[in-house]
Amino acid sequence: MNKIISLLLASSALLSTFAPTVSADPWQGQVLAAHNSARAQYGARPLMWSDALYPGALHHAQTCKFGHSNAQFRYGENLYATGAPAGGINDAMGAWMGQAAKYNYNNPVFSPSYGQFTQVVWRSTTHVACAIVVCPPHSTIPDFPGNVKYIVCHYAPPGNYPGQFARNVGRHV
């Protein structure tokens, strides 16, 4: 009986080592589910939530300025802004993954036209944190008269490194 219990404990410990982190926080759970669903379609392992990345993502989102922060090479960064009241991480992911058709597997280099897609599916990225804030009219999108939901995601290690696209951006499975 003790051998069976020991075997079960060892098996569960081994399985938990490879299982993606599931969060009790609804926002974190939505972020992980959206990212990991997209990554699975390109043969990338599930991401884990990073409490260390979250403060930077939140700080940048709270600026309500649509544009990349100046943390180049410390972490990857994806941005999304929408005036749609129901807009959320699934809308952001739809926009980022919509760039996949522009990626050229025969010429695997960076392009701003698909950089968000490649960051999402970048195989060596292991952690993510995203923040969402509601920004006032005319802040994030200058000519937009209503409130804007602004999503900032940070990734570690960052993706989109020159010379590493072929091994980090898998084909759709």
The per-residue pLDDT for 162 is 96
The per-residue pLDDT for 17 is 31
Give the DSSP H or E segment for 78: strand 76-82
Sheet holding 76-82, edge to edge: 48-49, 127-135, 148-156, 76-82
Place of tokens 């979250």: 54
- The domains of the chain, with CATH numbers, are 27-156 (3.40.33.10)
The per-residue pLDDT for 23 is 53
The per-residue pLDDT for 72 is 65
The per-residue pLDDT for 62 is 97
Average pLDDT per run of 10 along the chain, which is 173 residues long?
34 33 78 99 99 97 93 88 93 98 97 98 99 93 90 98 98 97
Angle between helices 26-40 and 89-97 (to 10 degrees): 20
The per-residue pLDDT for 11 is 32
Q: Residues 36, 20: contact at Cβ < 8 Å?
A: yes
Report which residue type is found at 171. Answer: R
